[in-house]
Amino acid sequence: MRETYTYDKSREAFARAMKVIPSGIYGHLGPAEGCYTPVEAFPFYSSKAEGPYVWDLDGNRFIDYMCAYGPNVLGYNDPDVDAAAAEQRALGDCTTLPSTKMVDFAELLVDTVASADWAFFAKNGGDVTTLAVMTARAYTHRKKIVFFKGYYHGVAPWTQKIDYAGVIPEDVMHNIYVNWNDLDELEAVFKKYKGEIAAVISQPYMHGNFMDNVLPADGFWKEVRRLCTENGTVLVVDDVRAGFRLDIAGSDHYFGFEADLICFCKALANGYNVSALCGKNFLKNTVSGMSYTGSYWLSAVPFAAGIACINKMKRIGAPQILIEKGTKLKEGLIATANKHGFDLRVTGVPSLFYLRIADDPTLMLHQEWIAECVKRGVFFTNHHNHFINAALTDADIAETLDIADEAFAVVKKRH
Amino acid sequence: MRETYTYDKSREAFARAMKVIPSGIYGHLGPAEGCYTPVEAFPFYSSKAEGPYVWDLDGNRFIDYMCAYGPNVLGYNDPDVDAAAAEQRALGDCTTLPSTKMVDFAELLVDTVASADWAFFAKNGGDVTTLAVMTARAYTHRKKIVFFKGYYHGVAPWTQKIDYAGVIPEDVMHNIYVNWNDLDELEAVFKKYKGEIAAVISQPYMHGNFMDNVLPADGFWKEVRRLCTENGTVLVVDDVRAGFRLDIAGSDHYFGFEADLICFCKALANGYNVSALCGKNFLKNTVSGMSYTGSYWLSAVPFAAGIACINKMKRIGAPQILIEKGTKLKEGLIATANKHGFDLRVTGVPSLFYLRIADDPTLMLHQEWIAECVKRGVFFTNHHNHFINAALTDADIAETLDIADEAFAVVKKRH
């Protein structure tokens, strides 16, 4: 049996943080909300990262299946991406004029992404989901936006729940929520709000938290596409999380349809800070007419990194590799669970898999198992999907299964 | 007389960009809107930057008074900031857990900024102005926000004008607009909307576009502070543009008052991508209770750069240096204009100066002069304030005045 990790230095640093940062570590990287990892198993701070690994402040090494919640797609500190970024940095990054790396990157995305006639760059996923909704409203002169329940499109007021702190009812009064894969409901909504729906916004499949992830039903996207087209509604795909892990040409392409607008962020530049809205020609003039920018949005280093990242993903066939590695891990995990009499559900596309031990509806059993994995060096999470990166080796997968095995044994013994 | 610059390569690159990017270069770095520089004098793309200079794609060198619209505060590619960033990059940047550099940076801001009891980090200025408004609404359970006319607080729907593309009336229905320095109007608004005003949001002084910049009148801020306190309204200072160019302790400190929330971005890390909301203890729990984050928000490299930038600004006394350099330039420019019989108005704090030739209310004369400056290597802008950086030398200022002199002569001769 392995020795389990301890996190003394992380705890000390967190105590310092609580004095000067609201909630110490906020958002999805924090112990309170983000990782949904049991807090006693959660390491809090990283000291370094390399390839598929992250080390915490106490020197514990983890095989990292969160990949910074997506940005790490080629492996941390990928030499090709870092070299391209360093070369650009020596010339200039955030200057009074953009670099032509911006043009090169837009051309590369237009060449790569099936539904992209143009690209617009920003910094957050939320910058581009917000621009997508504003573009749809400007183009259609309509107000209503259809969401699929379980969605996440960032933290801007328009996409928050009505009871979120700081959100006022006016922020979300034109939002309509329908169930994923429910075409009858969607069709009814289009009928009820005829001529009023500016956009349907959706992730390419339902990868929400605290629920098994759900792929689109047969024919679902084809019908959504048809309903949008017939109703003059803009179809927005939020590919911030899944983008380039399913298909280098976009997750809409993977599922056999074309979005009008598609949002990218996480896997775009292997961790360098950039997001992109891509879209169809008929919306280009609308976007051209909008005043939408930010202090660092046209910085050159992330464009250079993004070019290197996309080119390398294309060269090695990254999405296929990630799906293959994820499938190998998935099959191994299910078999390991079965050995101990557990029913482990692995849902979603394997490059972006979600885990749940189905034997316990309270999810506490699952949480116990996750904790035992994390404390032994496999960074899984509890109620959020995971991410595969291209630096993950067969040896890493074998070690993961070995640790998962030990963790199942510990949990089995306890119950 | 100097030869004037030509921009053939920039034009070619822009033609490529127009095919794949809406409006080619959008926002404040673009020729359409941003710089308000006459288009025929505008160089479009940079090839490199160093210290106080930017070079365009055609190899023309400019003494750059836009400083990437603020981020360049110490000089492009500052060796101390870049070394700290490179050291952190070798360890890790955007990983599954934050680095303790985040804690170090928050502690440094709390030590440095007078009104900061805590710090929250994001990426855009607009991320933190939005968080400030959401925090004020969450804390007060009120909806209304008071703006001063001429404001700019980012591109989110709540802060746009009602007629902007993509903005719906509900986005801005609780916004109240009052005139800068008009205490009677502000007091009347507080009376009319008693118990309804969540926040007053304001830049530290009026540095709007297309208008002479206006400092706060004597006693203005003291009265604003009193009205906010008496009415239970949160006072938000948007120091995104002016921050650290007036006072290392915050621009509220420069003008002798304390904000409840203060927003920083541009000069925070010399161009590395980070923004910060700082605030008072009574609002910390409210922020802790909000779910507000983004893909790259806890990346370590910008924190390392920010620490190096703030420490260097403190060590060299950057704001004082910038104001001194700006004052020298201002006095020289006014004298040069006078020599040619022009009345050049230089408004705002000299580290953040705004230029206008007052002899022509159409502003066309001013535009002609700006064009002649830019085409000779001084990157001024037309209807936006300018920025001073610490790498600017006396020789640069002398060369600037020499070019300004030549440009005045050209314009004088023409009229």
CATH code of the domain containing B30: 3.90.1150.10
Mutation target for A interface from B10, B20, B209, B280: give the one with most A CBs within 10 A.
B20
**pLDDT the model gives residue B34:** 52
User: Which band of pLDDT confidence, cut at 50, 70 and 90, is reported for residue A33?
Assistant: low
What residue numbers bound the domain in which A326 lies? Answer: 8-64+318-414
Give me the residue label for tokens 């920083």.
B264
Residue A51 has phi, psi (to 5 degrees) of 55, -120
B73 is a domain residue:
no
Residue finishing a domain among A316, A334, A358 = A316
A258/A175 same-domain check: yes
Reported as a single tens digit per residue, the pLDDT across A299-315 is 999 999 999 999 999 99
Residue finishing a domain among A316, A348, A382 = A316
List all residues 6 or more positions away from A175 whose beta carbon is below 8 Å from its beta carbon: A144, A145, A147, A158
**pLDDT the model gives residue A37:** 74
B323/B310 same-domain check: no
Nearest residue on chain B to A66, alpha-carbon basis = B96
A118-122/A275-279 β-pairing: antiparallel
**pLDDT the model gives residue A31:** 79
DSSP codes, B312-370: HHHHHTHHHHHHHHHHHHHHHHHHHHHHTT--EEEES-GGG-EEEETT-TTSHHHHHHH
A168/A155 same-domain check: yes
Nearest residue on chain A to B47, alpha-carbon basis = A99
B72 is a domain residue:
no
User: Which band of pLDDT confidence, cut at 50, 70 and 90, is reported for residue B302?
Assistant: very high
A2 is a domain residue:
no
| SS3 of residue A179 by DSSP | coil
**pLDDT the model gives residue B33:** 61
User: Which band of pLDDT confidence, cut at 50, 70 and 90, is reported for residue A163?
Assistant: confident
DSSP codes, A232-249: T-EEEEE-TTTTTTS-TT
A69 is a domain residue:
no
Q: CA B262 to CA A276: how far, in whole Å?
A: 29
Q: CA A9 to CA A292: how far, in whole Å?
A: 42
Tokens of B222: 């003291």
CATH number at residue A117: 3.40.640.10
B324/B311 same-domain check: no
Nearest residue on chain A to B77, alpha-carbon basis = A92
ipTM: 0.97
Whether B308 and B83 have beta carbons less than 8 Å apart is answered as: yes
Chain B residues touching A126 at Cβ < 8 A: 294
Residue type, A250: G
B278/B173 same-domain check: yes
CA distance B389 to chain A (A): 12
Nearest residue on chain B to A63, alpha-carbon basis = B96
Neighbours of B217 (CB within 10 A): 12
Tokens of B366: 């001013």
Residues in chain A: 415
A46 is a domain residue:
yes
B237/B367 same-domain check: no
Chain A residues touching B130 at Cβ < 8 A: 156-157
Q: Which of B302, B257, B306, B271 is nearest to B387 (CA)?
A: B271
Whether B101 and B304 have beta carbons less than 8 Å apart is answered as: yes
B355/B299 same-domain check: no
Q: Which of B118, B293, B302 sits opposite A27 (nearest CB)?
A: B293
B70 is a domain residue:
no
A361 is a domain residue:
yes
Arithmetic mean of pLDDT over chain B:
96
Residues in chain B: 415
Reported as a single tens digit per residue, the pLDDT across B72-107 is 999 999 999 999 999 999 999 999 999 999 999 999
Q: Which residues of B162-186 are buried (b: 16+ CB within 10 A; e: fewer)?
A: eebbbbbebbbebbbebebbebebb
Q: Which of B26, B133, B156 sits opposite A120 (nearest CB)?
A: B26
B300/B333 same-domain check: no
Q: Which of B89, B100, B165 sits opposite A45 (nearest CB)?
A: B100
Nearest residue on chain B to A174, alpha-carbon basis = B170
Instruction: Report the half-sphere exposure of A131 (CA within 13 A, side-chain side).
Output: 34
Q: Do A28 and B97 touch (CB under 8 A)?
A: no
A333/A304 same-domain check: no
Whether B372 and B411 have beta carbons less than 8 Å apart is answered as: yes
Tokens of B276: 């910060």
Q: CA B249 to CA A23: how far, in whole Å?
A: 24
Number of domains observed in the structure of chain A:
2
CA distance B212 to chain A (A): 22
Q: Which of A337, A332, A409, A345 is nearest to A383 (CA)?
A: A345
In which order are the strands placed within the sheet that holds A46-50? A46-50, A53-56, A61-64, A378-379
Reported as a single tens digit per residue, the pLDDT across A62-116 is 999 999 999 999 999 999 999 999 999 999 999 999 999 999 999 999 999 999 9
How would you class B361 by CB atoms within 10 Å of its CB: exposed for 0-12, middle for 13-18, buried for 19 or more?
Answer: exposed
Q: Do B34 and A293 touch (CB under 8 A)?
A: yes
B119/B48 same-domain check: no
CA distance A415 to chain B (A): 31
Q: What is the mean pLDDT of residues B269-283?
A: 98
Ramachandran sector of residue B141 (left: φ over 0; alpha: ψ -120 to 50; beta: rest) = left
B157/B248 same-domain check: yes
CA distance A355 to chain B (A): 18
B234-238/B197-202 β-pairing: parallel
B2 is a domain residue:
no
Residue A331 has phi, psi (to 5 degrees) of -65, -40
**pLDDT the model gives residue A297:** 97
Residue finishing a domain among B316, B338, B355 = B316
DSSP B77: T
Q: CA B134 to CA A381: how far, in whole Å?
A: 29
Chain B residues touching A290 at Cβ < 8 A: 26, 164-166
Angle at B76 between CA B70 and CA B80, to 5 degrees: 110
Whether A401 and A392 have beta carbons less than 8 Å apart is answered as: no
B131/B278 same-domain check: yes
